[in-house]
Chains A and B, each alone.
Chain A
Amino acid sequence: MRHLLSTADLELTDVTAILDLAEEMADVQHRSIKKLPALRGRTVVNLFFEDSTRTRSSFEIAGKWLSADVINISAKGSSVSKGESLRDTVLTVAAMGVDALVIRHMTSGAPLQVTGWTDAHVINAGDGMHEHPTQALLDAFTLRRHFGGDTGSFSGRRIAIVGDITHSRVARSNVILLKKLGARPVLVAPPTLMPAGVDSWGCEVSDDLDAVLGGVDAVMMLRVQRERMSGGYFPTPREYTIGYGLTRERVSALKPGTAICHPGPMNRGLEISADAADAANSLILDQVAAGVAVRMSVLYQLLGGEDQQ
């Protein structure tokens, strides 16, 4: 594996290797001194064109616990408005001697384009409405633990992904990865938030959350941006919550043990109720913890095997 751009590029064996190694990395979190020497002398740059404290911190901690030098560069705002091309920004950063670039960009495909301009390993930390592969990997890690261990535990599992599918890189990455693992994703959204061509994604699609909820093993709620309201995607937050929110009533309609996930940050009271977020079977904080372990695993997979100077 040279880059991590898309879950579509991962073979099942890659996924298993990443998740298995993440299990080992997770143990580091419980040590008093959380440091492995694996990436000593390697430089990882978090190049974020779009703010995300959560994802950036997670990559930063992952890199530091592996002893890499981690540098954060915020290239906030479109490079177009600053008058510098994406290529120039990347060449400038890469010229400083970088081993891995973790890229977050508000435009789909940017990390893939970057691979053409640098020898560094590129990790997609979320590109536009396209993909967020480490999020899908940490979701898989969390669910694998919840379902009980080996990869076979995904087979046949129905997992509802609910909310703004159109604009969600989390949904795209998860659909691909969950299918690869043998699960059956079910996409639930009002028709205005369902992307064009979704019929070709090879999964069940529904606009009726209540009809879906009783028969799933996990439910992933997606963050809904309130700005979508002014875009005419739904009339009011109240109507959205009544139609597609994981309300207290809906939590009680779930089969016992159904996992509740959310990539964060949550809009409590909009797409997810406090009862759902804080329920016993909510894995939301486990997801955050898994994020560090999975990103350590990914960084190690990309950089760890290389000869060190």
Chain B
Amino acid sequence: MTELLISGVRLVTGPDDHADALPAGTQDILIVNGRYADPSQSSADATRISADGLTAIPGLIDLHTHLREPGREDAETVETGTLAAARGGFAALLAMPNTVPVTDTAEAAEYIRTLGEKAGHAQVFPVGAVSKGLAGTELAELGLMARTGVTLFSDDGHCVFDSRLMRRALEYVRPFGARIAQHSQDPRLAGPDACCHEGEVSGRLGLPGWPSAAEASVIARDAELTKLTRSRLHVCHVSTAESVDVLRWAKKRGIDVTAEVTPHHLLLTTAEVEGYDPTYKVNPPLRPDEDVAALVGALADGTIDAVATDHAPHARHDKEHAFGDAAYGMVGLETALGVVVETMINSGALDWDGLVSRTSLAPGRIARLGDGLGVRPVFGAPANLTVIDPGRRATVDRDASASLSRNNPYHGRELPDPVMITIAAGAITYSRV
């Protein structure tokens, strides 16, 4: 029997109600054999961690991680990616299917799950592809993947743009209770070379741009298809004020649509692109101040349900091209909580209960993870917990990362650096206490 007693901590549980929940404000947390237990029952030989002045929150869950394995193990492996996740306070993550080969079969999904278990730093849940090979033409084996426990499907990196295929996907997964996560971007409107928000900066720098309408119009279409099919839609990395308006409209109509925003879209703006540094080339692109403000507001009021990293590691040489030729994406697992604390808590936009809801409860619910994920801590359930020091700050050093890749947009910037201990499925996966 293993016993872990974390004492002196302040538990923030989030707003959900549960009869067997640990009460908010709890000072001592006991974990016996990986499950929450009554701290008054702790035995003398329990391992004790003194966490005076620290805060505990339900373990973070990332809806949107690119682990790159199999296929691009030079950029990231499941081992290094989940290590980065643990350092970032994540107990679980969903691994996007745009690997080589693509996760578009039950066997491929099982393989990802096995790699995750072998690494053991965070619980890894595979996201299945919507279409075979992400080609956007034929449905992948959604049902077979669902039978292995896949709950989220996405062609992320590509938009499922064929409206007929999107309708079929939404329809087909409904009986499995799964959800289609859409990379919402009209590929015709944006064009193949687009690499920047379309607006003043793209015009001046001569970079092909994505208009906001390329995102909002697809969300609006998908909301209608979700209503038509009585299914469930999740919108990946929302990046514009227009998209927020469409989400608000869809939710008001009772459509089951959820949405995520990345930490980088909450903090960074189009201005970062001025020096043509490919570190800041990301898809969807960084947007102007007005959009960033709208995203912070929408995450605060719940129009956007969750934060997701879109952690996208790239080997150095894939970023050392001209801006337009470089790979899209930035890493984000290790800095995610810091950026959210800075943009949402330190700005006064959200309280800690709200943060718990956006970083853990909502993602767990959207992906229907179960197993103590996405719920407030409950006696008897597996412990997934992140212990943090909310006031701790540090200068981001990309070379100190556990990720194999260095495309870190915050390098040299001072940010909250709160994560002290991560516990995933009852086991300590990271600690600097």
A and B held together in a complex: yes
- Nearest to A167 among chain B residues (CB) is B206
Q: Which residues of A contact B200 (CB under 8 A)?
A: 196-197, 200
Least Cβ distance of B104 to chain A in Å? 26
Tell me which of B293-301, B318-326, B401-409 binds A.
Answer: B318-326
Cα of A86 to Cα of B207 in the assembled complex, Å: 18
Whole-angstrom CA separation of A109 from B322 in the bound complex: 7
In the complex, are the beta carbons of A108 and B206 less than 8 A apart?
A: yes
- Residues on A with beta carbons closer than 8 Å to the beta carbon of B277: 113
CB-CB under 8 A from B201, the residues of chain A are 197
A166 CA to B205 CA, complexed, in Å = 11
With contact pairs A112-B275, A113-B276, A200-B200 given, residues A127 and B321 touching in the complex (Cβ less than 8 Å): no
Query: Which residues B266-322 have CB closer than 8 A to chain A?
Result: 275-278, 317-318, 320-322
Whole-angstrom CA separation of A80 from B294 in the bound complex: 36
In the assembled complex, the CB of B54 is this many whole angstroms from the nearest CB of chain A, namely 41
Residues of A within 8 A of B203 (CB): 166, 195-198, 200-201
The answer to whether A78 touches B206 (Cβ under 8 A) is no
Q: A177–B207 Cα gap in the complex (Å)?
A: 20
Residues 77-116 (chain A) with a chain B CB within 8 angstroms: 78-80, 85-88, 105-110, 112-113
B157 CB–A CB distance under 8 Å: no
Interface class of chain A by DSSP: mixed
Tell whether B26 is near chain A: CB-to-CB under 8 Å. Answer: no
A215 on interface, CB distance cutoff 8 Å: no
Chain B interface residue count, Cβ-Cβ cutoff 8 angstroms: 25
A33 to B277, CA, bound (A): 45
Contact digits for A37-57, partner B, Cβ 8 Å, 1 yes 0 no: 000000000000000000000
Decide: B323 and A129 in contact? CB cutoff 8 A.
no
> Does A131 reach chain B (CB closer than 8 Å)?
yes
CA distance A112 to B294 in the complex (A): 33
Supply 18 further A-B pairs (C-beta < 8 A) apart from A85-B321, A88-B317, A197-B203. A78-B325, A86-B320, A106-B324, A107-B325, A108-B205, A108-B206, A108-B322, A109-B207, A109-B276, A129-B206, A130-B205, A195-B203, A196-B199, A196-B200, A197-B200, A198-B203, A200-B204, A201-B203
A-B contacts, 8 listed (Cβ < 8 Å): A79-B325, A87-B320, A109-B276, A130-B207, A172-B204, A197-B200, A197-B201, A200-B203
Q: Which residues of B contact A (CB under 8 A)?
A: 198-209, 211, 275-278, 317-318, 320-325
